[in-house]
Amino acid sequence: MPADLPASVLFCCDHNAVRSPMAEGMMKKFYGTTMYVQSAGVKGDLDIDGFSIAVCEELGVELSRHRSRSFEEMQEWGDDLSGFDLIVALSPASQRQALELTRYYHLDVEYWPILDPTGLGEGREEKLNSYRQARDQIKDRIVQRFGPPQG
């Protein structure tokens, strides 16, 4: 792993139900406890998406126990944004929210434009393929940014 890795990373997307939980799960699977990793959404109003759970299970990443939360809930529960070294936004709305919330803190915000697979595909297999595409985009960006998986 590169020597300049952040000690803590927050992934965010719109609802913390599809993309950011996938990113959080893969980071924890790939790098273990070398970094503190969490995820949040602009809103925390949806449960974890079943298709996200299914496509991550294909990589040995377990998401079924994930509980969605918003930026607001995260702060209420004691995870202060100023405690993160890096925020990775996976959607335009979460990028705007992260930049707004971090204007008082000195930390990096990166934007990774990841496909939103919700609503794509007609049948189950087409939908799964859309989710796999988003999962693989996230995986590729994680490995590119943080180095080869450790586990």
Domain boundaries, the chain: 8-146
pLDDT of res. 151: 61
How do residues 94-140 score in pLDDT, each as one tens digit? 999 888 877 777 778 999 999 899 887 788 888 999 999 999 999 99
Q: What is the mean pLDDT of the chain?
A: 88
Q: How far apart are CA 149 and CA 71, in angstroms?
A: 28
How do residues 41-66 score in pLDDT, each as one tens digit? 988 776 788 899 999 999 999 999 88
CATH class for the domain made up of 8-146: alpha beta
pLDDT at 141 over 70: yes
pLDDT at 13 over 90: yes
pLDDT of res. 133: 96
**Sheet arrangement for strand 8-13:** 36-41, 8-13, 86-89, 108-111
How do residues 65-91 score in pLDDT, each as one tens digit? 888 998 888 878 777 777 888 999 999
pLDDT of res. 82: 76
pLDDT at 2 over 70: no
* CA proximity to 20, closest of 1, 50, 48: 48
Q: pTM of this prediction?
A: 0.91
DSSP-based three-state secondary structure for 138: helix
pLDDT class of 1 with cuts at 50, 70, 90: very low
What residue spans of 32-123 are helical by DSSP H? 50-57, 71-76, 92-101
